[in-house]
Amino acid sequence: MPEVPDLEAIRKFFNRTVAGETIEKVDTPIPVVIRVPREEFVRLLTGDTLGEVHRHGKFLLFTLASGRLMVVNAMLTGRFSLVEPSRKRHARTCFVLGLSGGKELRYADQRLMGRVYLATPETLETLPQFAEMGPDVLSPSLTEEVFRDRLRKYTGQIKSVLVNHKFVAGIGNAYADEILWAARVHPYRKRSQMSDDEIGALYRATGDVLNWAEPIVWEKMGESLDYKEWRDHLRVHRRGGEPCPRCGTTISEITAGQRITNFCRTCQPEVPRGF
């Protein structure tokens, strides 16, 4: 699943490569992910010009010269590419934008779970999930005070809280593991069991981990957006059975509800310190 470091790198890539290009042709071979009528999607985008790309949570917002926004929530398996038209299309390519610079911006989705909308700044809040999202995880407005105040509303396991977009927008499964490892907090700890110091550590780790990962992903992306998940820099996620890079304890891996969780039982004790 694309997470904030991936989406930030993709956003920067598009702003460097396609901003200012006109959409000359629109093809929708699998329109099921497009949440407006197919004919309207083609008509409204054809001839429009791409502007700056923004991100909120896991949504990418492509601004257009017309004032409209193309809003993409890639979900689990949505993938972008920017390639020559002669390049073979990925399986389940959902839409293709032929650009004035000669390349095609493509979106493919193996499970067809993503959602693509056309909106305006005034109608963004009407999109599914958008209005209910908490502040973006990298927003300057997400101060420690705001983080703590929002966290008080939840009582469940802390990893489940972190990936809940209603708490804060943008944290996914992989980086939740990394944040909790950096903060030394057990993923199945109840929020009500966490000390003030642990909550502070969690807040700091959230920003530190995402800001650490984004330039790494950006460097790995390089000049190509033939997107894949860049995960080999992660320290605990999907590293079950390997030694913890901090203490050497074997990293645990638990699969529950189709979600893989990795953590270190030594660095992230189940019983809170001081209890």
58 classed as catalytic: yes
Cα separation, 233 vs 226, whole angstroms? 19
166 classed as catalytic: no
Distinct helix (H) and strand (E) counts, the chain? 6, 10
Cite the DSSP H helix spans in the chain: 4-17, 38-45, 144-151, 158-162, 173-183, 196-221
- The answer on 119 and 151 residing in a single domain is no
Cα separation, 251 vs 244, whole angstroms? 6
Q: Provide the residue range defining the domain that includes 68.
A: 4-126
Note the pLDDT tens digit of each residue in 122-157.
999 999 999 899 999 999 999 999 999 999 999 999
Give the percent of the chain with pLDDT over 90. Answer: 89
Last residue of a domain, one of 72, 93, 126: 126
How open is the CA angle 240-219-247, to the nearest 5 degrees?
30
Q: Which of 2, 5, 135, 187 is flagged as catalytic?
A: 2
Residue 274 half-sphere exposure, CB side, CA atoms within 13 Å? 6
148 lies in some domain: yes
Per DSSP, what are the bridge partners of residue 123? none
Last residue of a domain, one of 61, 91, 126: 126
Q: Which of 55, 58, 106, 189 is flagged as catalytic?
A: 58
Is it the case that residue 272 has pLDDT exceeding 70?
Answer: no
Is it the case that residue 228 has pLDDT exceeding 70?
Answer: no
Q: Which of 16, 43, 153, 259 is flagged as catalytic?
A: 259
215 classed as catalytic: no
215: CATH: 1.10.8.50
**Residues 6 or more apart whose Cβ sits within 8 Å of residue 243:** 249, 250, 251
Cα separation, 101 vs 27, whole angstroms? 17
State the total domains in the chain: 2
Q: pTM, whole model, 2 decimals?
A: 0.93
